[in-house]
Structure 1
Amino acid sequence: MNTQVRTALISTAGHCKVACGFCFRADRAHGFLDTATYARALSRLKETGVEGVCLSGGEPTHHPRLRQLVRLAHQFGVSVSMVTSARTAAEVTALSEIAPLLANLTVSADSQGAMLLGRTTRTAASGIHTLRAIRTGTRILHVTCWGLSDGECQELADLVSEADVEIQFSPVVLDERALLREGKSVQDYLVQQQLDADRLGRHFNLSGRYRAYLKELRDLQFPPAEGERWSCRSATVYVSADGYIRRCPYGQASVSVNAPRAAIRYFLTAPAQDRVTPDCAAICRPSAESDERSASCAAQA
């Protein structure tokens, strides 16, 4: 089955200072996305029907030509969204300068348990502080969750209500190796994930689609056999900071933005060969039924 590509997740940098312990990023390198490479990518993506791009990272506010990246997308008639962990004054200033040009902005945060697990300091309160300073179409706080309490859930509900922003959630994704490092069993993980979902459900209106996503994620993380994993059905492609297009951020197959037009078009219109994994499911929607996580690139920042 083929899925029409409609959006692109674009890495603006190959490095990130946040360095979450549960990071989903597919690339680890130094340097920023070159504007000429980016412009060529936009041109080729537009030709194959891409309507919107999401700038991610590393941290996009660190890109020295961030405003130019956003303006270039508009010149190609492509809408721009962004996912960021911006907290410092310099990062928020860079963000505020391009905010009116964004269709939506997602600021990443972690629950208290996720911060401990991932060794981060991205609190929900500081994320809300960033969102309050920004004026753009849609503002979203995206929280990666682990070990939630009812008190923390109530605090989150109060924060987003007062700030008048949207909120989205993702569970921490741990593979079996990560579980071993944390001294946890598969059963421990599944129990905690369900407890977190139940607590969120007492304070937020979680749809059945979000719970379906959690079930799919559990099935992906601990399948009975490798063959149980399904083929990629995401409408989002990935562009790395060094100028390669992949149907999946973690896929092996890629095509350079400098390849001939026909080669890029074939790559983007042919059925994807990648299999869905827990990491890419946390970034892209694994099936049409799981579109609760509409800002599917939020887990990148």
Structure 2
Amino acid sequence: MSTPVRTALISTAGHCEVACSFCFRADRARGFLTTATYTRALSRLKETGVESVCLTGGEPTHHPDLRQLVRLALQFGMTVSMVTSARSEAEVTALAEVGHLLTNVTVSADSQGAMTLGRTTRSAASAVATLDAVDTPSKVLHLTYWYVDDDEAAQLADLVAGTGIDIQLSPVLLSEAALRRDNRSLQDSLVQRARDTAALDQYFRLSNGYRSYLDDLRQLQLSKEESHPCRSATLYMSADGEVRHCPYGASEVSVHAPRTEIRAFLDAPATDRVGPDCAAICRPASRDCAAA
């Protein structure tokens, strides 16, 4: 039997204007998730036992009917969370308007090295400013990091001290093509990750779960053997209504398919294998660290 699913990660758009060079999004297309497709998805997912949805992107605050997306999920008895890179006045306003309806908001940010690598401007300080503007019970700053030194780690700790904001960390995962382009080896990137983690560890209490996550990533990147099967309790739905066990999964079913076909797909054991990219997205719902 497959793992019972309780949550669904839903892409609200097939495109993203941030376009990080290290992005691991599985879908890239134009257009927004339609209300009709989303409503049908909520109905079918509710029937299969899904209790919560997380709206992601592209950038969810760009969706013209964001408030309606949130309210529809609530009407189906589901809790709603969101992952966003909102920084502009319009984006933060859109987020703040639905913030009180959400159980959690995660704002993405990049370390200084990751901003240079990815050509982004998503600083941790601007992420905290966004979170300060939102009335939501649970707030998370998700930091993608690369080349973090002691000074930057200390600044990050000061930035979130006393705010009640949790930190989730993700090391940059460079693809083989990116490694070749930058004339780096995989071992180089692993050594840099260890240095970054050591710097962060001086100012944050990294959880055992996070350390285990890093060990798993290392093994997945180094191993030439097939990884273990997907056991995720989170479904993924693309902006065009295709449901997969994993964002990178080869098999999918449309929410417009008959109920029996959707049920058969979800009841069947997942055939997807866990890789570094999907492991970076699908992580245990626990705190990565706390301020030391």
List, as ranges, runs of 4+ consecutive aligned residues in structure 1 with deviation greater than 2 Å. 290-294
In structure 1, runs of 5+ residues without a counterpart are 295-301
Letter aligned with residue 33 of structure 1:
L
Shift of 1:109: 0.1
**Equivalent in the alignment of 2:14:** 14
1:230 to 1:34, Cα distance in 2 relative to 1, 3 A:
same
Q: How does 1:96-115 map to 2 (within 5 A)?
A: 96-115=96-115
**Equivalent in the alignment of 2:69:** 69
SS at match of 1:9: strand
1:280 aligns with 2:275: no
SS at match of 2:202: helix
SS at match of 1:144: strand
The answer (yes or no) to whether the contact 1:217–1:281 under 8 Å persists in 2 is yes
Equivalent position to 1:232, from 214, 230, 235: 230
The answer (yes or no) to whether the contact 2:167–2:287 under 8 Å persists in 1 is no
Shift of 1:291: 4.8
1:85 aligns with 2:85: yes
**Equivalent in the alignment of 2:249:** 251
1:185 aligns with 2:191: no
Shift of 1:175: 2.3
Q: In structure 2, how many angstroms separate the alpha carbons of the residues matched to 1:23 and 1:278? A: 13
Letter aligned with residue 142 of structure 1:
H
**Equivalent in the alignment of 1:56:** 56
SS at match of 1:282: helix
Letter aligned with residue 273 of structure 1:
T
The answer (yes or no) to whether the contact 1:175–1:221 under 8 Å persists in 2 is no
The answer (yes or no) to whether the contact 1:105–1:140 under 8 Å persists in 2 is yes
Q: In structure 2, how many angstroms separate the alpha carbons of the residues matched to 1:143 and 1:265? A: 36
Q: Deviations over 1:151-178 (max 9, x none)?
A: 1111111111143311110111112222
Letter aligned with residue 278 of structure 1:
P
Q: Deviations over 1:180-215 (max 9, x none)?
A: 112211111110111111111111011111111001
Shift of 1:99: 0.3
**Equivalent in the alignment of 1:298:** none
Equivalent position to 1:242, from 240, 243, 259: 240
Q: In structure 2, how many angstroms separate the alpha carbons of the residues matched to 1:293 and 1:218? A: 20
SS at match of 2:109: strand
In structure 2, runs of 5+ residues without a counterpart are none
Q: In structure 1, how many angstroms separate the alpha carbons of the residues matched to 2:169 and 2:177? A: 24
Shift of 1:94: 0.4
The answer (yes or no) to whether the contact 1:6–1:236 under 8 Å persists in 2 is yes
Q: Deviations over 1:114-152 (max 9, x none)?
A: 111111110000001101111111011110011101111
The answer (yes or no) to whether the contact 1:209–1:291 under 8 Å persists in 2 is no
SS at match of 1:205: strand
1:268 aligns with 2:238: no
Q: In structure 1, how many angstroms separate the alpha carbons of the residues matched to 2:286 and 2:118? A: 24
Which is further off, 181-190 or 77-86?
Answer: 181-190
Q: In structure 1, how many angstroms separate the alpha carbons of the residues matched to 2:2 and 2:273? A: 13
Q: Deviations over 1:52-71 (max 9, x none)?
A: 10000000000000000000
The answer (yes or no) to whether the contact 2:109–2:127 under 8 Å persists in 1 is yes
Letter aligned with residue 117 of structure 1:
L
Shift of 1:257: 0.4
The root-mean-square deviation of aligned C-alpha atoms, in Å, is 1.2
The answer (yes or no) to whether the contact 1:232–1:274 under 8 Å persists in 2 is yes
Q: In structure 2, how many angstroms separate the alpha carbons of the residues matched to 1:77 and 1:142? A: 27
TM-score by length of 2: 0.96
1:238 to 1:293, Cα distance in 2 relative to 1, 3 A:
farther
Q: Deviations over 1:234-265 (max 9, x none)?
A: 11111000111011101111101011111111
**Equivalent in the alignment of 1:297:** none
Which is further off, 100-109 or 268-277?
Answer: 268-277
The answer (yes or no) to whether the contact 1:131–1:139 under 8 Å persists in 2 is yes
Q: In structure 2, how many angstroms separate the alpha carbons of the residues matched to 1:180 and 1:145? A: 20
Alignment identity in percent? Answer: 65
SS at match of 2:61: helix
The answer (yes or no) to whether the contact 1:84–1:107 under 8 Å persists in 2 is yes
Q: In structure 2, how many angstroms separate the alpha carbons of the residues matched to 1:186 and 1:257? A: 39
Letter aligned with residue 214 of structure 1:
L
Aligned residues: 288
